[in-house]
Amino acid sequence: MRYVKDFHWSKGMRIRGMMDSFSHLGFQSIQLANARDIIVKMKKEGAKIFLTFTSNMVTSGLRGLFAQLVSLGMADILVTTAGAIEEDIMKAYGERFLIGRFSADDVELYEKGVNRVGNLFVRNESYEKFEDVMGGLLKSIYEKKPRWSVSEMLREFGLSLNDEHSILYQAARRNVPVFCPAITDGSIGFHLYMFQQDHPDFVVDVVEDFKRILWSTSYDDKKGIISLGGSVSKHHALLAALLNGGMNYAVYLTTAHSSSGSMSGATTDEAKSWGKVKDDSDVSTVIGDVTITFPLVIISALDELSDEGVIKG
Amino acid sequence: MRYVKDFHWSKGMRIRGMMDSFSHLGFQSIQLANARDIIVKMKKEGAKIFLTFTSNMVTSGLRGLFAQLVSLGMADILVTTAGAIEEDIMKAYGERFLIGRFSADDVELYEKGVNRVGNLFVRNESYEKFEDVMGGLLKSIYEKKPRWSVSEMLREFGLSLNDEHSILYQAARRNVPVFCPAITDGSIGFHLYMFQQDHPDFVVDVVEDFKRILWSTSYDDKKGIISLGGSVSKHHALLAALLNGGMNYAVYLTTAHSSSGSMSGATTDEAKSWGKVKDDSDVSTVIGDVTITFPLVIISALDELSDEGVIKG
Amino acid sequence: MRYVKDFHWSKGMRIRGMMDSFSHLGFQSIQLANARDIIVKMKKEGAKIFLTFTSNMVTSGLRGLFAQLVSLGMADILVTTAGAIEEDIMKAYGERFLIGRFSADDVELYEKGVNRVGNLFVRNESYEKFEDVMGGLLKSIYEKKPRWSVSEMLREFGLSLNDEHSILYQAARRNVPVFCPAITDGSIGFHLYMFQQDHPDFVVDVVEDFKRILWSTSYDDKKGIISLGGSVSKHHALLAALLNGGMNYAVYLTTAHSSSGSMSGATTDEAKSWGKVKDDSDVSTVIGDVTITFPLVIISALDELSDEGVIKG
Amino acid sequence: MRYVKDFHWSKGMRIRGMMDSFSHLGFQSIQLANARDIIVKMKKEGAKIFLTFTSNMVTSGLRGLFAQLVSLGMADILVTTAGAIEEDIMKAYGERFLIGRFSADDVELYEKGVNRVGNLFVRNESYEKFEDVMGGLLKSIYEKKPRWSVSEMLREFGLSLNDEHSILYQAARRNVPVFCPAITDGSIGFHLYMFQQDHPDFVVDVVEDFKRILWSTSYDDKKGIISLGGSVSKHHALLAALLNGGMNYAVYLTTAHSSSGSMSGATTDEAKSWGKVKDDSDVSTVIGDVTITFPLVIISALDELSDEGVIKG
């Protein structure tokens, strides 16, 4: 039996030390400490790691951390949404997002050409520049062939970038596939449509991508997932693993609760009924804002893995 | 200025009457009464109505209501996720889902071949039968042509069904397009992949679908949205409207909060900054479980519209 | 085994009929239908019923319904917070609260002397009039004796009122005790303090109230709770029942989740570990805004009880 | 204008450094970084600081941190609930709580005499020992006088303890008053009641406590609040400050949302309409589990204050 221990401050505390204390502190802190232990374990035991995230996390500034995780070998398969792809490319081309406020006047923002995502602002001009970039990228891949699976296409995009903080850049260089099951659900969808108007044989083959995510792991591989937020990115990785015997390790960080029956709030326990995670797997669900919980859990895991020589850095 | 009024029970109360009282009852009840008024207004003013929902709502039993709304002319464009398509077809073929418990033993369920979605259970055999159905459906459409946009394909599926409580059935007969931007994110994705293995020229054209949702309304149309839950279904409808000048009416029913910066929790106010809804549009965001809030808001709206002769029934 | 059934609209639906359908509709709708059945059962089996609520529900307009429940014999013991007491009295003296907006400008409201509670507004003048009322009430009870338990004092307040929609009025006339374990936590606390300054022997005896709530039921009584929201009102009723063998029936309606370990989010299951509810009791926890879920559950329960002749009305 | 910056891991990161990065990371991370800045500012500008918390946070293990904050001069007035008082005393007498699981079998726990609070367990024997302790404490204070305000009584309890990790111990030695507006809402209420049965002139004077919290600050003092969770502890501190001109600084850490109109979810903005916080005050509301957010915000604040010599440590 483990006991609750009184938590105390000591000057200059490191995240790793605080997370050690969280193992003895009640409620979501324990869940977070467990999640850290599972991430360390999945890496040490050589699991193929799925990292899934929604576009708002790329908006938030976690993008740099995702790219770094790829470069450190901490993520073998990425699954995300269209907005994440767009914003990763925008930022690789130098666009910057602004710190705003949740309570900003949205009508006023609209008049100024500013779009709000929670307490962040994205200017219209960021989308305008993205349009030019996409025009060039699509032309360039079409010249090679007319039919592309999404993950192949995103790899080409990544190879064209020149920003080591870019997710697509790191993924392309590390042969980490990036899956995006709803690729048209963003301004990129509009650009794909415009391009197809002029090039009717241009095809984005989402079915081929299903094969590719299925084959990205084997039945015999140990498999783990770090799922941030909900949406199709979470579901798609679980589905791919389900068809290959299920995840051995699962960490869900989300703000959604299980009470609504939604995928975003579905717990690691519920996943066991489906075989999405194995019945004896190591799992932890942590309820909380990912921009707080993810840095904590991953920094402490990386510190530990680095000390043990499992990763560089 | 409107005042809070004490709420009272009277025997045999109708939903419509209760919702009238909600206009004078604080917190989410007011939001729900506002949402009802906006739905009535969008219909009476001839708006093209987007209805978006996630797959768990089809699991829940709201499927019959969605189909009925299509048949009543209350939904002109549907946007949803792959699970919703699958389950609508399963149910049209007679599969039944079970009432379960949130706290069921998930490992035990797995051993029994039962999958949990919140407090509902879906048996593996429902998926097995679906596999046979999909084999036939895909073969049949492929014989017509090899390249299909998603909404065209779903229309064919709908025409093949024989269940008036089916969403796809009603949508096909009413020429209501059904969009599913992440069509491969479900067991249907697996079946599409298997079929493509044998028929390499079979293509699901998601880019063509972007054109179709864009052209499903015009810039001059009045446009409204009833969005249930979050995910790509919500975002995709808003995106399509944004490119056509924005929604004039917007009702969001969701359990997600705006604090995480997610699309699921993004409010109707945030949407104004993007032009997803017009700056002077009628909007209401209601926080709560959709299996409770949606029946209330739509029953009271239908009662009112029926009394005024706007809809039949 | 029960099955999910497709939900449909029929014109002029009554709440009771909709709630019957909710028994076959997934997620929180099922929980709500269960809660209704438990409320019907606790009344039919003669349980002593604790009704607990927080002050914002009195602000909202549910006050009239609470008073009505007392008059119908549906609540035997009330537990609430200081704000609920204050606002019930204010409204009995004719004060009216305003329908406002969640996104109102709070600095501007302050300048206008308007206080915001979610999407409702309460004017400063309502508090000013309350001050006069309290002065008279305290003087009047002090003339009888200097030491009062809270529930005795609130009974005197209730007897002095002349508004059948008042909770205190109905409770006083029905000998339903009203407990308020944090009676000083409101402007009433300030008025009690001012009065004690002039009358140092004036004592509000909260310890005596503990005896009174403990003795309000016996170990042999069947006991039930309908708990709205969280806070000390919920905890206090459970504590009193725990010392008398625990609740036989428990319905919690709340927006709080169990993940934070708080009392507000503590589930009916957690309550079993404490003996707050008996291990074989009938329980249902429903997550959602009480201003929506409570009218539904109680209207349908009252309709059923009235049909069966258990209550009048 | 501030910009979002990509977040990166560097080995051995300290909490303070991570929190600096949070100023440039979207969503609740920014709110948390703001909260840290406000806490630093309120201390440096000599504000009287109210620290409020609910009992589950004492259960969790944050108790040690609360005691340490008092000893460091970071909290001038404490407001909490009865459970927090009980558990602080239990722990001072050596009781230990267990790390459990949210999904434990509650009926089985009950049979073993174990009570669950989220993912923590408290054994019945902890309550039994507490009964003995309380018997002695009450006898000892009654010998001095029969009528006690709550905060005076809690001071006596604190003086009797011998555990530097105890909140009451540190508060008593530092002349930091501890307020508990619902002192009877716990097993302590039962012990007070039993004692009063034998000593009818024993009085716990909650009205006197209102005077004491009101006079614990003056109109001219700068005032700040760090409010953890909701409940009467949050409301009571705000009420006391309201009557003295309002808070100049306010940090709310909570899992509750504003949508339900509850006090727990009421925002720092809503507080401005009441004058609970001044209209030009520094405020931050952070949504998230307090056992994660509070260590982060306070450790980084203490590190900064220590570097600047404002606090020792």
What are D62-106's pLDDT values in tens digits? 999 999 999 999 999 999 999 999 999 999 999 999 999 999 999
Spatial separation of the C-alpha atoms in residues A47 and A282, rounded to whole Å: 12
**CB within 8 Å: D98 and A4:** yes
Residue of C nearest to B59 (CA): C26
Q: Strand, coil or helix: what is B192? A: helix
Sort strands C98-99 and B98-99 into parallel, antiparallel or unpaired.
unpaired
Contact status, residue D250 vs residue D272, Cβ threshold 8 Å: no
Q: What is the pLDDT of residue A231?
A: 83
Is the CA virtual torsion A146, A149, A153, A156 positive or negative? Answer: negative
Burial of C20 (0-12, 13-18, 19+ CB in 10 A): middle
Residues 6+ apart with CB under 8 A from B230: A230, A231, A262, A264, B54, B254, B256, B262, B263, B264, B265, B266
**CB within 8 Å: D28 and B259:** yes
Residues 6+ apart with CB under 8 A from C27: A259, A260, A261, B56, B60, B118, B119, B120, B289, B290, B291
Min distance A282 CA to chain D CA atoms (Å)? 14
pLDDT band at A247 (very low <50, low <70, confident <90, very high): very high
Look up the CATH architecture of domain C47-94+128-292: 3-Layer(aba) Sandwich (3.40)
Spatial separation of the C-alpha atoms in residues B267 and D218, rounded to whole Å: 41
Contact status, residue D53 vs residue D84, Cβ threshold 8 Å: yes
Question: Is residue A53 scored above 90 in pLDDT?
Answer: yes
Question: Is residue B305 scored above 80 in pLDDT?
Answer: yes
Structure tokens at A55: 């576009």
Question: Is residue B280 scored above 90 in pLDDT?
Answer: no
**Is A245 near chain B, with CB under 8 Å?**
no
Q: Identify all chain D residues contacting B261, using CB atoms and an 8 Å cutoff.
A: 26-27
From the list C14, C56, C1, the residue with the least C-alpha distance to C264 is C56
Quick: pLDDT tens for B216-248. Answer: 999 999 999 999 998 899 999 999 999 999 999
- φ, ψ of residue D156 to 5 degrees: the values are -60, -45
Q: Strand, coil or helix: what is A303? A: helix
Min distance C295 CA to chain B CA atoms (Å)? 8
Question: Is residue C93 scored above 90 in pLDDT?
Answer: yes
Q: What is the pLDDT of residue A279?
A: 86
Q: What is the pLDDT of residue D307?
A: 96
| Average pLDDT of the residues of chain B | 96
Question: Is residue C139 scored above 90 in pLDDT?
Answer: yes
Half-sphere exposure of C24 (CA within 13 A, CB side): 17
Min distance A293 CA to chain B CA atoms (Å)? 12
Quick: pLDDT tens for D165-205. Answer: 999 999 999 999 999 999 999 999 999 999 999 999 999 99
From the list A272, A106, A45, the residue with the least C-alpha distance to B279 is A106
Spatial separation of the C-alpha atoms in residues C199 and C92, rounded to whole Å: 27
DSSP D163: -
Mean pLDDT of D225-246: 95
Half-sphere exposure of C151 (CA within 13 A, CB side): 21
Q: What percent of chain B has pLDDT over 70?
A: 100
Question: Is residue A1 scored above 90 in pLDDT?
Answer: no
Q: What is the pLDDT of residue D156?
A: 98
From the list D298, D275, D29, D297, the residue with the least C-alpha distance to A102 is D29
Strand partners, A115: A122
Spatial separation of the C-alpha atoms in residues A199 and C87, rounded to whole Å: 68
Query: Which amino acid is present at D197?
Result: Q
How many residues does the structure list for chain A?
313
Half-sphere exposure of B89 (CA within 13 A, CB side): 24
Q: What is the pLDDT of residue B175?
A: 98
| Average pLDDT of the residues of chain D | 96
Structure tokens at D296: 């982060």
From the list A309, A237, A208, A212, the residue with the least C-alpha distance to A75 is A237
> B24-94+125-305 has which CATH code?
3.40.910.10
Quick: pLDDT tens for A117-166. Answer: 999 999 999 999 999 999 999 999 999 999 999 999 999 999 999 999 99
Helix D82-92 × helix D124-142 angle, to 10°: 100
Best C207, C209, C227, C276 member to test D by mutation, with max D CBs in 10 Å, is C207
Contact status, residue D198 vs residue D95, Cβ threshold 8 Å: no
Spatial separation of the C-alpha atoms in residues C83 and A124, rounded to whole Å: 47
Question: Is residue B313 scored above 80 in pLDDT?
Answer: no
Quick: pLDDT tens for C20-63. Answer: 999 999 999 999 999 999 999 999 999 999 999 999 999 999 99
Spatial separation of the C-alpha atoms in residues C183 and C181, rounded to whole Å: 6
Spatial separation of the C-alpha atoms in residues D252 and D39, rounded to whole Å: 11
Contact status, residue C223 vs residue C122, Cβ threshold 8 Å: no
Could you count the other beta carbons within 10 Å of the beta carbon of residue C108? 12
Say which CATH class D15-95+126-307 falls into.
alpha beta
- φ, ψ of residue A226 to 5 degrees: the values are -115, 105
From the list B212, B205, B158, the residue with the least C-alpha distance to B183 is B205
Residues 6+ apart with CB under 8 A from C144: C156
Complex ipTM over 0.90:
yes
Spatial separation of the C-alpha atoms in residues A43 and A55, rounded to whole Å: 25
Q: Which chains touch A (3 or more CB pairs under 8 A)?
A: B, C, D
Domains of chain B, residue spans? 24-94+125-305
Strand partners, C303: none
Contact status, residue B275 vs residue C13, Cβ threshold 8 Å: no
- Quote the distance between the C-alpha of residue A47 and its chain's center: 17
Residue of D nearest to B256 (CA): D257
Quick: pLDDT tens for C144-188. Answer: 999 999 999 999 999 999 999 999 999 999 999 999 999 999 999
Spatial separation of the C-alpha atoms in residues B3 and C120, rounded to whole Å: 9
Strand partners, B179: B79
pLDDT band at A263 (very low <50, low <70, confident <90, very high): confident
Q: What is the pLDDT of residue D263?
A: 86
Q: Identify all chain C residues contacting A103, using CB atoms and an 8 Å cutoff.
A: 103
Number of Cβ pairs < 8 A linking chain A and chain D: 215
Q: What percent of chain C has pLDDT over 90?
A: 95
Q: Strand, coil or helix: what is B249? A: strand
**CB within 8 Å: C232 and D185:** yes
Sort strands D247-254 and C77-79 into parallel, antiparallel or unpaired.
unpaired
From the list B154, B147, B206, the residue with the least C-alpha distance to A196 is B206
DSSP A65: H
Residues 6+ apart with CB under 8 A from B246: B223, B275, B276, B277, B278, B281
Q: What is the DSSP string of C173-218?
A: HHT--EE-TTTTSSHHHHHHHHHHHH-TT-EEEHHHHHHHHHHTS-
Q: What is the pLDDT of residue C230?
A: 86
Question: Is residue C293 scored above 80 in pLDDT?
Answer: yes
Q: Where do the DSSP E strands lie in chain D?
A: 48-52, 77-79, 98-99, 114-117, 120-123, 147-149, 178-179, 203-205, 223-228, 247-254, 277-287
Best B259, B267, B286, B287 member to test D by mutation, with max D CBs in 10 Å, is B259
Question: Rg of the Cα trace of chain C?
Answer: 20
Look up the CATH architecture of domain A25-88+149-185+202-306: 3-Layer(aba) Sandwich (3.40)
First to last CA, chain D: 35
**CB within 8 Å: C260 and A103:** no
**Is A217 near chain D, with CB under 8 Å?**
no
pLDDT band at A308 (very low <50, low <70, confident <90, very high): very high
| Average pLDDT of the residues of chain C | 96
Could you count the other beta carbons within 10 Å of the beta carbon of residue C48? 20
Q: D122-127: which pairs have CB atoms within 8 A and are 24 or more residues apart?
A: D122/D59, D122/D87, D122/D97, D122/D98, D123/D98, D126/D90, D126/D95, D126/D97, D127/D90, D127/D187
pLDDT band at A290 (very low <50, low <70, confident <90, very high): very high
Q: What is the pLDDT of residue C264?
A: 86
pLDDT band at D280 (very low <50, low <70, confident <90, very high): confident
Quick: pLDDT tens for B184-203. Answer: 999 999 999 999 999 999 99
**Is A203 near chain B, with CB under 8 Å?**
yes
From the list D253, D246, D254, the residue with the least C-alpha distance to D272 is D246
Question: Is residue A313 scored above 80 in pLDDT?
Answer: no
Q: Identify all chain B residues contacting C23, using CB atoms and an 8 Å cutoff.
A: 99
Looking at the whole model, is its pTM more than 0.90?
A: yes
First to last CA, chain C: 35
From the list A197, A204, A194, A193, the residue with the least C-alpha distance to A148 is A204
> Could you identify the residue written with the tokens 């717990």?
A267
Spatial separation of the C-alpha atoms in residues B227 and B64, rounded to whole Å: 17
First to last CA, chain A: 35
